[in-house]
A and B are shown apart, each in its own frame.
Chain A
């Protein structure tokens, strides 16, 4: 069964304290892994797409990396405005069209 698991469920950091969020997946024939940021009461905002193992993408204090079984979202010197829930998602395997399979997310809190 295709599955996406994110850890930890919640992460509390002090401002400037770097850390990583994990997204592990089981899907045949990965056709992309997507990271989103979601603020309370808002829709998810697209961050990155990764397609192949070894690929990395960066945006401000965020860097996403991909291996054959998992992806990491590294947060360097976070600020309070980075507080949000981070979601990862993959398309279903087996050549299925349409929807993404989402993890339950990691809720990040950054304290000043």
Chain B
């Protein structure tokens, strides 16, 4: 599993609800990332964190929030402010020596 686990794999949400996606890694890496993937588009960065208790916005952070209270965990909350939340969400951790990213299996969110 590349040392990283995302859950749930599928999630349905009603409009106006917040939802939190889980991401856990067991390789003791400092850097973790959240990407969004839509059909016909490249992966777009939502948030990233290089160290516990610190994180930075990516290119499309509006309507999302994150926390990094523990090194192994980097949950993503999709808030009701996100206008088009239906997408495939990917969490990754990085080997900072090589820059290589290792992805989880993804979470597919559908807003009903």
Contacts and interface: CB of A to CB of B under 8 A. Distances in A.
A42 B99 CA distance: 21
Contact of A43 (B40, B42, B90, B98): B90
Contact of A46 (B100, B104, B105): B100
A4 interface: yes
Contacts of B43: 44, 87, 89, 102
Given A42-B106, A102-B42, A32 B98 contact: yes
Contacts of B98: 32, 49
Interface in B95-109: 98-106, 108
Nearest to A42: B105
A46 B1 CA distance: 12
A41 B42 contact: no
Contact of A34 (B90, B101, B108): B101
A98 B41 contact: no
B52 interface: no
Given A34-B101, A46-B100, A98-B50, A41 B41 contact: no
A79 interface: no
Task: Specify which of B40, B41, B101 lies most central, judged by the most chain A CB atoms within 10 Å of its CB.
Answer: B101
Interface in A54-100: 87, 89, 91, 97-100
Contacts of A105: 42
B21 interface: no
B42 A104 contact: yes
A24 to B, nearest CB: 14
Contacts of A42: 105-106
Interface of B: 2, 6, 31, 33, 35, 40-43, 45, 48, 50, 56, 58, 88, 90, 92, 98-106, 108
5 contacts: A34-B99, A43-B6, A99-B33, A99-B48, A104-B42
Interface of A: 4, 31-32, 34, 36, 41-46, 49, 87, 89, 91, 97-105
* A-B CB proximity, top 8 nearest: A43-B103, A102-B42, A102-B43, A99-B45, A104-B42, A43-B106, A44-B103, A98-B48
